[in-house]
């Protein structure tokens, strides 16, 4: 793709994403829906002006990485620890309940192959952490207990999703699963979670020393951005999603995160650094994050869906019911008020880009025909659009 066409695409994405995001927000609809809708209009589902490409994808990934870094900076680690058990229950049930029932219904009721049924079930495990945290952040609810449960569960859900995808992809190719490689992946991810905060603290101290030697406070935000991308790379190399590396990096530098044997920065240094980082990345997040949500809309090919097909509706409604019920029920297995349970369940509902990745891999592996692929796109699109609306209504009540 020519570079000038990329510039034109970015101009349209940034402008229409902002306009529709603000317009939807003006009518009480979460701005993230407006941004995704802008992608639907600009992409193959609408006017066909922009095709998803690697350049836009990279900027979209940077946007969501910075958003998760910011969420990590603002997160309360003590609150996350308190809700750790609840988050684990929500993530585990919310991932495996849709998978088991999705695979069971596909195999026994629709007579699909075992590998295809498993991949359909795997697709239903997904939760788009980016969409979830953006909606809750816009609603000003990230510091509430239910949001902390959702944040912890969404992080775990992303890990489950990566492991499940790797296992299913291998199974689709070889018909077997290498338990040793799965255990090795889990060990790598666990090691990263344990050591990354300590490494982040050490690097933060070095950045602070360099800043003093150079006598330049402007060095801090630039170096921190470099560190964010390094942790995203490190996270990917160890088998977990890039955004989790950015989130852990932000968490390690947050005001509330203290590791007794790795606390190198004084309180005033830490406060100064964190404030400087937040002030510096805010404009980048404001510009780049909408690109991610517009890209989700660009990736949706709604023209593939044959709404007149009875076979489509039978499979689509069955999987949609499982996709919604599996996530919502997860919120009912922890101790919380009815409203909190519903908020947690619907926060875990959007599949977004994660569901689309599953769908694309299933299609490329010849497991999904056009009908199944269209059904998955429909389920992903419906859960992605409906979740922010329901959350808005629940919060308003």
Q: Tell me which of 51-60, 190-199, 343-352 is least confident.
A: 190-199
pLDDT band per the 50, 70, 90 thresholds, residue 328:
very high
The whole-number average pLDDT for the span 50-59 is: 89
Percent of the chain scoring above 70 in pLDDT:
93
What's the CA gap between 370 and 376, in Å, rounded?
A: 10
pLDDT band per the 50, 70, 90 thresholds, residue 266:
low
Condensed to tens digits (0 to 9), the pLDDT of residues 133-145 reads 888 888 888 888 8
**pLDDT for residue 253:** 73
**pLDDT for residue 271:** 61
pLDDT band per the 50, 70, 90 thresholds, residue 260:
very low
What is the average pLDDT value for the chain, to the nearest integer?
84
The whole-number average pLDDT for the span 358-386 is: 89
Of residues 233 and 178, more confidently modeled: 233
Of residues 120 and 207, more confidently modeled: 120
pLDDT band per the 50, 70, 90 thresholds, residue 261:
very low
pLDDT band per the 50, 70, 90 thresholds, residue 394:
confident
Q: Tell me which of 26-30, 34-38, 278-282, 342-346 is least confident.
A: 278-282
**pLDDT for residue 262:** 36
- Does the pLDDT at position 67 exceed 70? yes
Q: Tell me which of 82-96, 144-158, 266-280, 325-339 is least confident.
A: 266-280
- Does the pLDDT at position 269 exceed 70? no
Considering the entire predicted model, what is its pTM?
Answer: 0.83
Of residues 238 and 38, more confidently modeled: 38
CATH of the domain at 209: 1.20.1530.20
- Does the pLDDT at position 362 exceed 80? yes
- Does the pLDDT at position 270 exceed 90? no
pLDDT band per the 50, 70, 90 thresholds, residue 264:
very low
State the total domains in the chain. 1
**pLDDT for residue 301:** 87
Q: Tell me which of 226-240, 241-255, 347-361 is least confident.
A: 241-255
Residue 168 domain boundaries:
3-396
Q: Over the Cα atoms of the chain, what is R_g?
A: 21
Q: Tell me which of 21-25, 175-179, 235-239, 351-355 is least confident.
A: 175-179
The whole-number average pLDDT for the span 178-204 is: 81
């Amino acid at each position: 793709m020519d570079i000038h066409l990329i510039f034109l695409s970015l101009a349209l994405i940034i402008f229409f994403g902002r306009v529709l995001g603000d317009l939807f927000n003006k009518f009480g609809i979460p701005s993230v829906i407006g941004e995704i809708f802008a992608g639907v209009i600009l992409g193959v589902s609408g006017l066909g002006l922009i095709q998803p490409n690697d350049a836009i994808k990279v900027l979209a990934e940077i946007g969501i990485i910075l958003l998760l870094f910011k969420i990590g900076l603002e997160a309360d680690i003590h609150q996350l620890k308190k809700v750790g058990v609840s988050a684990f229950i929500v993530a585990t049930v919310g991932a495996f309940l849709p998978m088991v029932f999705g695979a069971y219904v596909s195999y026994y009721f629709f007579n699909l192959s075992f590998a295809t049924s498993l991949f359909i079930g795997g697709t239903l495990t997904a939760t788009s952490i980016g969409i979830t945290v953006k909606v809750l952040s816009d609603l000003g609810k990230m510091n509430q207990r239910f949001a902390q449960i959702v944040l912890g569960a969404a992080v775990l859900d992303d890990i489950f999703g990566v492991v499940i995808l790797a296992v299913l992809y291998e199974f689709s190719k070889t018909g077997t699963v290498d338990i040793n490689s799965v255990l090795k992946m889990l060990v790598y991810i666990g090691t990263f979670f344990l050591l990354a905060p300590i490494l982040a603290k050490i690097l933060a101290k070095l950045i602070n020393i360099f800043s003093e030697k150079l006598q330049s406070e402007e060095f801090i935000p630039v170096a921190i951005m470099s560190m964010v991308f390094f942790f995203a790379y490190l996270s990917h190399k160890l088998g977990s999603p890039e955004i989790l590396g950015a989130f852990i990096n932000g968490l390690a530098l947050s005001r509330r995160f203290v590791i007794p044997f790795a606390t190198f920065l004084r309180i005033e240094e830490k406060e100064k650094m964190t404030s400087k980082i937040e002030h510096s990345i805010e404009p980048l997040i404001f510009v780049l994050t909408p690109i991610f949500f517009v890209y989700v809309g660009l990736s949706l090919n709604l023209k593939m869906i044959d709404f007149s097909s009875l076979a489509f509706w039978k499979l689509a409604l069955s999987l949609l019911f499982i996709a919604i019920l599996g996530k919502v029920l997860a919120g009912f297995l922890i101790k919380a008020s009815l409203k909190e349970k519903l908020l947690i369940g619907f926060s875990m509902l959007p599949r977004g880009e994660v569901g689309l990745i599953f769908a694309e891999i299933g299609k490329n592996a010849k497991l999904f025909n056009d009908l199944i692929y269209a059904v998955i796109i429909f389920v992903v699109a419906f859960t992605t659009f409906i979740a922010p609306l329901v959350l808005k209504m629940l919060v308003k009540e």
